[in-house]
């Protein structure tokens, strides 16, 4: 049998502890977070015949180097490690060396309660990078849009409700052309109609109606200097939002292409009635991953997606609370999937059942679940032997 190790990782160094089957320390060292240090770390673990490496993160450069060296990695959630400290101490002290000891002991004595990290395919990791990168850009766009909305409310709220969204291309183009009430003072119905035609406006409101809505909005009482400053701020925010909108649109196209080229792409796309729902389908696929043994039952998948309540029973007290420890990205995708199940097929009258899906020879790995709309992707496809106890299966699938 091999030995056990832990890596208490940090930004510039990593503390490593190696122990044998009975818990005796064999080695303890600190390695720098550079190429030379990571090479030395992997060589040390291989030389000491380490069987399992525990670490408080499931991804990153360090984890990739450990996997490339042929080591088995046991990722643990920081909250699970924090809850285990009381097993090995009476006081409330904490140090990097003590955390390394706790991680190593958990890998030695409780490794059956955790899941060894399984690598996803290169296509799945690339799709995950695209969806998470798009999510970060979308958060930045929302933050800047809220800042732009707040700025307009201070002196000119008219453009806020003029179009559907403040960060839409036509709304940004309008603010770029008319960033202040002084710029829009000479705007008439004919000129606005020309602007709408150039922007390919698809709304149902006539130029006179839009102009009336703009004129009815109140204007702030600001001086010439303040108006010039706020006009400059609006232009700056518009200039910051426009490239984000363009980049998100480009990422949407790349995500759609990557999803359709993925072996499981059509399965996840079939969960949605609207064929344009590629982003949520891609998020589901990338967050669930390729390893079907990761979620042996639908309950394990529902727990990781935050769709299962947390039961608390003590004596006569029985309650159910909201599950907060989950994969937030997977939960958002599941909620979008559940919401989409409430809507009918685009273009079909309400109450008319959608047509039955055509038969396919592809084995379905994901089947829709009950009326809540959450799909189950754990019980189908190739599954490996399940060694985790059922009582802890849902807890062990907590994601970062």
pLDDT per residue over 93-138, tens digit each? Answer: 777 788 888 889 999 998 888 889 888 899 999 999 999 999 999 9
Euclidean distance between CA atoms 116 and 67, whole angstroms = 11
6's CB contacts (< 8 A; 6+ apart) are: 16, 17, 53, 54, 55, 100, 101, 103, 104, 107
Given a cut of 60, is residue 364 above it in pLDDT? no
- How many Cβ atoms are within 10 Å of 120's Cβ, its own excluded? 18
User: What integer pLDDT is reported at residue 289 of this predicted model?
Assistant: 92
What number is the average pLDDT over the span 296-319?
89
User: What integer pLDDT is reported at residue 77 of this predicted model?
Assistant: 86
Instruction: Collapse the DSSP code of 10 into the 3-class scheme (helix H, G, I; strand E, B; otherwise coil) and give the result.
Output: coil
Euclidean distance between CA atoms 329 and 397, whole angstroms = 14
User: What integer pLDDT is reported at residue 392 of this predicted model?
Assistant: 39
What number is the average pLDDT over the span 329-339?
91
Give the residue, 37 or 391, on which the prediction is more confident. 37
What number is the average pLDDT over the span 190-203?
92
What number is the average pLDDT over the span 373-393?
38
User: What integer pLDDT is reported at residue 342 of this predicted model?
Assistant: 78
What number is the average pLDDT over the span 243-264?
95
Residue 330's pLDDT band (boundaries 50, 70, 90)?
very high
pTM comes to 0.76
Can you tell me which residue has the tokens 């707040």?
A: 150
Given a cut of 70, is residue 363 above it in pLDDT? no
Least confident of 31-35, 77-81, 357-361, 362-366: 362-366
Chain mean pLDDT for the chain: 83
Residue 30 forms beta bridges with which residues? 15
What number is the average pLDDT over the span 328-355?
70
Euclidean distance between CA atoms 114 and 387, whole angstroms = 9
User: What integer pLDDT is reported at residue 1 of this predicted model?
Assistant: 60
Of 297, 303, 308, 304, which Cα lies nearest the Cα of 377?
297
Least confident of 17-26, 319-328, 349-358: 349-358
Given a cut of 70, is residue 160 above it in pLDDT? yes
DSSP 211-244: HHHHHHS------HHHHHHHHHHHHHHHHHHHHH
Euclidean distance between CA atoms 84 and 71, whole angstroms = 24
Least confident of 16-20, 93-97, 264-268: 93-97
Q: Find out whether 284 and 338 touch, Cβ atoms under 8 Å.
A: no
Residue 43's pLDDT band (boundaries 50, 70, 90)?
very high
């Amino acid at each position: 049998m091999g030995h056990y190790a832990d890596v208490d990782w940090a930004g510039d160094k990593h503390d490593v502890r190696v122990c044998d089957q009975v818990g005796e320390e064999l080695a303890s060292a600190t390695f720098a977070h550079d190429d030379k240090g990571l090479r030395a770390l992997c060589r040390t673990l291989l030389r000491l015949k380490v069987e399992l490496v525990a670490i408080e993160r499931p991804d990153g450069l360090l984890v990739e180097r450990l996997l490339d060296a042929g080591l088995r990695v046991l990722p643990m959630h920081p909250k699970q490690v924090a809850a285990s400290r009381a097993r090995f101490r009476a006081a409330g002290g904490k140090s990097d060396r003590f955390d390394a000891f706790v991680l190593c002991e958990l890998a030695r004595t409780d490794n059956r309660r955790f899941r060894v990290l399984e690598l996803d395919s290169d296509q799945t990791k690339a799709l995950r990078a695209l969806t998470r990168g798009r999510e970060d850009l979308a958060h930045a766009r929302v933050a800047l849009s809220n800042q732009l909305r707040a700025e307009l409310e201070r002196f000119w709220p008219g453009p806020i409700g003029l179009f559907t969204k403040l960060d839409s291309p036509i709304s940004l183009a309008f603010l770029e052309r008319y960033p202040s009430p002084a710029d829009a003072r000479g705007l008439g119905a004919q000129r606005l109609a020309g602007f709408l035609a150039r922007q390919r406006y698809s709304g149902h409101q006539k130029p006179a109606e839009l102009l009336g809505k703009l004129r009815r909005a109140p204007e702030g009482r600001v001086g010439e200097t303040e108006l010039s400053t706020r006009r400059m701020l609006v232009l700056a925010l518009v200039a910051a939002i426009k490239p984000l909108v363009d980049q998100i649109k480009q990422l949407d196209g790349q995500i759609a292409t990557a999803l359709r080229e993925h072996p499981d792409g059509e399965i996840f796309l079939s969960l949605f009635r609207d064929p344009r729902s590629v982003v949520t389908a891609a998020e589901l696929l990338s967050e669930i991953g390729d390893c079907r043994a990761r979620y042996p039952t639908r309950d394990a998948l529902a727990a990781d997606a935050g769709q299962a309540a947390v039961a608390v029973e003590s004596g006569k007290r029985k309650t159910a609370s909201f599950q907060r420890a989950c994969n937030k990205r997977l939960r958002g995708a599941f909620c979008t999937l559940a919401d989409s199940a409430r809507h009918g097929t685009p273009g079909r009258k309400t109450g008319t059942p959608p047509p039955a899906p055509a038969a396919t020879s592809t084995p379905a790995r994901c089947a829709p679940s009950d009326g809540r709309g959450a799909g189950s992707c754990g019980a189908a496809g190739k599954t490996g032997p399940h060694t985790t106890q059922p009582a802890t299966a849902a807890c062990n699938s907590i994601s970062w």
